Amino acid sequence: MKDDIQRVLYSEEEIRQTVRQLGAQISRDYAGKNLLLVSILKGAVVFMTDLMREITIPCRIDFMAVSSYSGTVSTGDVQILKDLGMPIKGYDVLIVEDILDSGRTLKYITEQLQVRQPQSIRICTLFDKPEGRKAPVKADYVGMLVPNEFIVGYGLDYNEKYRNLPYIGVLKPEVYGG
């Protein structure tokens, strides 16, 4: 797998420090609130696992699985494959996403959750790729900015590979035909 990586963009330690800072900020901002973390599967599960260990206030967790990609390209058609397992009315929902790229998926999810009457909905993304934005979505918590390149690792994949890398790397274009 390492031979497929063009360069390391963010090291394991840089990610760990960023997640620690995000957890501290979320803990301050949501103190005294009814926090529900919603992880978007599969990519965000690694981030959410580390993030929730850095959050020092009570919180609940749940998961959604959505699909909008085929290979390296967003189809623009978002489908919910797994919905939440609990009602969210009255909760302060924090959507936890691995990367905010086109914004289409998060726009769709936010709209779907809003009709369920949560107290609030905000977005936390570990990686933000503003150059890829197609929908008007802005995260409330952003860990790191990433260039408009195909990145993998720390939950991010290409055809279900590379999620288990402990760092973020730029995938060589010849691997994905780019």
Catalytic residue annotation: 101
Please name the residue that has the structure tokens 């993030």. 51
Terminal alpha carbon distance of the chain: 17
Largest pairwise CA distance in the chain: 50
Distance CA 1, CA 3 (A): 5
Distance CA 46, CA 79 (A): 22
Helix or strand holding residue 142 (H, E): strand 141-145
Contacts of 149 (CB under 8 A, 6+ apart): 9, 170, 171
Burial track 9-39 (b if 16+ CB lie within 10 A, e otherwise) = bbeeeebeebbeebbeebeeebeeebbbbbb
